[in-house]
């Protein structure tokens, strides 16, 4: 590398990147995603994904149930969350884990023959609940009727 090349490189400035703000909306205009691009590569990815770029002020004004309509943030009606099979699977797993946590001490007491009658009744109630949750077909979401929690 010659001295001339070094001089050219030293005087060349790199333009700083400005943070850019993007939102994703659904067909009703509800804001469903908010992204901050901290690099040119990120911002190009958001642009290619057809996300809407907004100002920092608009970005900061977005809250729960916000809609982006005609370049403005407006408060929308509360939008109910649609239960999907993936959501149902997560709920089912959490309910089964909770039932396992609650029944494990009683199961140990039952095996050792030291469980009280009231704890045995509670164990039976929880195990029936466990069976009812286990029997749920998550593919039926959102038409799932969850069993009553003990």
pLDDT digits (tens, 9 = 90+) for 4-54: 555 545 555 556 778 999 999 998 899 989 999 988 898 899 999 999 999
Its pTM surpasses 0.75: no
Q: What is the pLDDT of residue 77?
A: 87
Determine the average pLDDT of the residues in 75-79.
Answer: 85
Task: Check whether residue 22 and residue 50 sit in a common domain.
Answer: yes
Give the SS3 label for residue 22.
strand
Domain limits at 93? 85-140
pLDDT digits (tens, 9 = 90+) for 86-127: 889 999 999 999 999 999 999 999 999 999 999 999 999 999
Domains identified in the chain, total number: 2
| 15 and 70 in a common domain | yes
Q: What is the pLDDT of residue 13?
A: 58
User: Is position 133 within any domain?
Assistant: yes
């Amino acid at each position: 590398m010659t001295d001339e090349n070094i001089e050219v490189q030293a005087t060349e400035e790199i333009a700083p990147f400005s943070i850019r703000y993007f939102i994703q909306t659904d067909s009703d205009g509800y804001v469903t995603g908010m992204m901050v691009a901290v690099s040119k590569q990120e911002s190009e990815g958001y642009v290619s994904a057809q996300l809407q770029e907004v100002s920092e002020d608009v970005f900061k004004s977005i809250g729960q149930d916000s809609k982006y309509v005609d370049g403005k943030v407006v408060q929308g009606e509360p939008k109910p969350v649609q239960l999907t099979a993936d959501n149902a699977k997560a709920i089912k797993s959490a309910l089964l884990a909770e039932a396992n946590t609650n029944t494990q001490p009683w199961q140990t007491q039952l095996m050792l023959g030291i469980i009280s009658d009231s704890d045995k009744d509670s164990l039976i109630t929880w195990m029936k609940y466990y069976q009812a949750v286990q029997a749920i077909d998550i593919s039926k979401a959102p038409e799932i009727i969850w069993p009553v929690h003990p």
